[in-house]
Amino acid sequence: MPLQHNVFLLAFLVLNAISVASQSPFQIVFKSQPKTEPTGTFQFHHPIRRVAVVGAGPSGLQTTARLVEHNFTVRLFDRAPHPGGNWQYSEETPVRESYPDRRAGDYYAEIPAQIPTRRYYQEGDDGLTLDYRWREHWRPRPVWYNLFTNSPKVSTELPDVPYDPEVPWVLNHDTIQRHVRSYASHHCLNSNDYCPPKATPAAPPITSYSTRVERVEKDAETHTWVLTLRRLERLPESNRILEEWWTESFDAVFLAAGPWASTHVPDIAGIVDWSKAKVGEQYSVYHSQTYRHPERYAGKAVLIVGSSVSASEIARDISPYAHRIIASVRPPKELTVRRKLSLSRFPNATEIVPEIASFEPLKTHTDGIRGGKIHLVNGSVLQDIDEIILATGYRSSPLYPYNLTTRTPEDTLWSGHWAQDPTIAYSIGRTWTLGRYQAYGIAKVWAGKAQLPPLDRTEDGETKPPSMEWFGEDIFRRYITWLNEASLKYGGRFVDPPPIENLEALKYYSVVHFLTANVTALEDIGLSSISMLSQQFLVEDPWDALVDEDDD
């Protein structure tokens, strides 16, 4: 197979952040029958003028910029107080995940009977602190202090605001955060920009931060989408929080709420009991979303559950401090190359153990978990553990349909439009690179300047979600060709493919990033193929490594 194939495979591995299985309630409520599958020229009920974008991460910001450029009246909502999406590091941590696991939608507030409405909260109202209300509303991000990208600069970059050439290939979260906010400012989408409206002075401001979209509902009479919105404002002078509820109607909605909206807590026997254990104010069992600093782990025995990126990267971060690091790894259902690479990133000192079968009930919850017993599926018992970090992944936003196992519903066109009603569109992923093209595609279709593409189907005629099988160059070519054909036919500017040098940079980055593997210990739990993979990487010339990898 050609070299290029490997390049694209690695590009996929490094770039593609695949959403985890989710059972979030479908908050998009229909009052009308869904339309039949659209292809080609789709007749919208009425011309699209008002558009809502949910999420001011890299995806939502780019799409907003393109929609504004196409003269739509746009409103951009984000629950966070600033743009940046996932890339807003804070010492604040999200409110504690629930034990047992709950569906993501359960976090959402009860919608008041009367809207619009407003209400002030004091410290301690309904037994909740103001701090808790605030954190529950915006959800501090699952980003830790020493987090660096697992994607190189060239593929973690937005257009218009290039990184300083001196910035290294490996970025820390802070560099990305400033980059994304620069992009937002460049397009007048930051939280404190002063941007007088140009064309229509009466137009509403584009951005509304600290605003959570609670519900997206189709009005059968007006054929518009009604968004139920909830904004919180901290009022430090009077030590209160102002909560406002209102609705707004839109002709179309772009959902870029990100795949990390809530956590996944594994359903292990006894976990609810263990989740109550504390040492002082510190819980002994917690999800990786609250992990921030490694120094705290000095001298501790830490059990990390999971074998993906969070698990191995947190293990690396704490390894200079921790006395003992154990990782509970279950044999992955599908041992993708991406997963093998994550496994290979565990530090040398990691003790790999099998999946946890159960936690033996604790005698007390005030003395941590050191005295407790953890039963593994192979019959062994673990003891003397100080803390357990559940690096067990995330679920997508409750705005997305029920039981979603992919980033987008099955019947999503590869452009991101929802086949049942293409006035809804989803961010299809790879937001730094493909997101740039998707932003054009969304604006063009809604402006009547591009035709909807057909649904992808399997050989059996089943519909397939976009992007998962169209990695690397394929999806780029497909998207760029579609956009430029539309521009030829309906007018509009032409788009270039990403520079070929980016792929080269990506190759080198990937090889260096993953070369330091020592995964001998994984053989003990029957994952010997991973060791073989790491051997493949141990070649002198990175280009050879990529050719070898073709056999996988």
- Site for ligand NAP, residues 142 to 161, rule: CB under 6 A: 147, 149-150
- Measured distance CA(15)–CA(471) in Å, rounded: 9
Using N-to-C axis directions, what is the helix angle for 528-537 and 337-344, rounded to 10°? 80
* Total residues interacting with ligand NAP, rule: CB under 6 A: 25
Six-digit token pair at 102? 């709950």
Structure tokens at 520: 């001998």
Token duo for residue 156: 């973690």
Candidates 5, 16, 18, 23: give the one binding ligand NAG (CB under 6 A): 23
**Rounded Cα–Cα distance for residues 552 and 392 (Å):** 26
Q: How many Å apart are CA 172 and CA 144, to the nearest integer?
A: 10
Query: Contact between 71 and ligand NAG (CB under 6 A)?
Result: yes
Give phi and psi for 529, each to the nearest 5.
-60, -25
Candidates 96-104, 237-245, 426-434, 477-485: pick the segment binding ligand FAD (CB under 6 A). 426-434
**Sign of the alpha-carbon dihedral angle for 401, 404, 409, 414:** positive
Subset of residues 332 to 351 that bind ligand NAG, contact rule: CB under 6 A: 347-348
518 binds ligand NAG (CB under 6 A): yes
Question: How far is Cα 288 from Cα 133, in angstroms, rounded to an integer?
Answer: 21
Closer to ligand FAD by Cβ: residue 108 or 359: 108
Q: Does 510 bind ligand FAD (CB under 6 A)?
A: no
Give me the 150-169 binding string for ligand NAG, x by CB under 6 A, dash otherwise.
--------------------
Q: Which of 155, 392, 412, 467 binds ligand NAP (CB under 6 A)?
A: 392
Instruction: Look at phi and psi of residue 59 and say left if phi exceeds 0, alpha if psi is from -120 to 50, else beta.
Output: alpha
Question: In the complex, which residue's CB is closest to ligand NAP?
Answer: 393
The yes or no reply on residue 25 touching ligand NAG (CB under 6 A) is no
Nearer to ligand FAD, 77 or 225 (CB): 77
Is residue 230 classed exposed, middle or buried when 0-12, 13-18 and 19+ CB atoms within 10 A define those classes? buried
Query: For ligand FAD, which residue of 99, 260, 470, 514 counts as binding (CB under 6 A)?
Result: 260
Compute the least distance from the CB of residue 392 to ligand NAP, in Å: 4
Q: List the Cα angle 299/353/12 in 5-degree steps.
A: 100
Cα 72 to Cα 50, 52, 417, 419: the distances in Å are: 6, 10, 17, 22
**Rule CB under 6 A: is residue 379 a binding residue for ligand NAG?**
yes
Q: Which is nearer to ligand FAD, 160 or 485 (CB)?
A: 160
Structure tokens at 285: 């069992």
Whether 208 and 75 have beta carbons less than 8 Å apart is answered as: yes
Site residues for ligand NAP per CB under 6 A: 17, 20, 147, 149-150, 266, 268, 288, 305-311, 313, 328, 330, 332-333, 355, 391-394
* Site residues for ligand FAD per CB under 6 A: 15, 17, 54-60, 77-80, 85-87, 142-143, 149-151, 156, 212-213, 256-258, 260-261, 397, 399, 427, 431-432
- Contacts with ligand NAG by CB under 6 A lie at 23, 70-71, 347-348, 353-354, 376, 378-380, 402-403, 516, 518, 520-521, 524-525
